[in-house]
């Protein structure tokens, strides 16, 4: 057998052995591809986590707030409500602006359990408006049941 024939023969045997060698390696190392390992253990494939969309602050009249530019809120998640009214508790006043200017503010939590839009201290409105209510800075979408 020539050298070329021997090389060809060796390569062919390696190709036909490949599945057995892979299995042997997995047994030795105990390592499998994650999906293969999950299937082997009868576990389901992970699903994408679903996130509830938080209601947007469609408008906020409070330009003095650090999170406000041109009547838009840019706080990632505001908190609404205190013991007496639907105040925006995230409001604060500093010389510089904050928040994410590419992001429209959203309602992260609301303590106004008596509002028609409130379920388990989460706002379920399609969006809210924040503005002045006399001296206060309130959710103007608040609707007592």
CB of 78 to ligand SF4, least distance (A): 5
Q: Which of 46, 137, 144, 27 is nearest to 93 (CA)?
A: 137
Chain contacts with ligand SF4 (rule: CB under 6 A):
57, 60, 62, 65, 67-68, 73, 75, 78, 80-81, 86, 88, 90-91, 105, 107, 110, 112, 115, 117-118, 123, 125, 128, 130, 137, 139, 141-142
Tokens of 39: 């299937």
Shortest Cβ distance from residue 102 to ligand SF4 (Å)?
A: 15
Residue 32 or 69: the one with the smaller Cβ distance to ligand SF4 is: 69
**Do 57 and 73 form a contact (C-beta atoms < 8 A)?**
yes
- Provide the residue count of the chain: 145
Q: Minimum CB separation from ligand SF4 for residue 134, in Å?
A: 15
Q: Which helix (H) or strand (E) holds 125?
A: none
Residue 34 CA to residue 105 CA, distance in Å, equals: 38
């Amino acid at each position: 057998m020539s050298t070329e024939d021997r090389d060809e023969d060796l390569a062919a045997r390696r190709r036909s052995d490949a599945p057995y060698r892979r299995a042997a390696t997995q047994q030795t190392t105990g390592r499998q591809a994650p999906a293969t390992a999950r299937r082997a253990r009868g576990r389901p494939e992970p699903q994408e986590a679903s996130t509830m969309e938080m209601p947007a602050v469609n408008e906020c009249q409070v330009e003095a707030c650090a999170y406000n530019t041109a009547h838009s809120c840019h706080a990632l998640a505001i908190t609404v409500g205190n013991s007496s009214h639907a105040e925006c508790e995230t409001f604060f006043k500093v010389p510089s602006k904050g928040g994410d200017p590419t992001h429209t503010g959203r309602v992260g939590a609301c303590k106004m359990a008596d509002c028609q839009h409130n379920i388990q201290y989460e706002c379920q409105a399609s969006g809210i408006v924040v503005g002045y209510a006399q001296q206060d800075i309130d959710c103007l979408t608040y609707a007592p049941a």
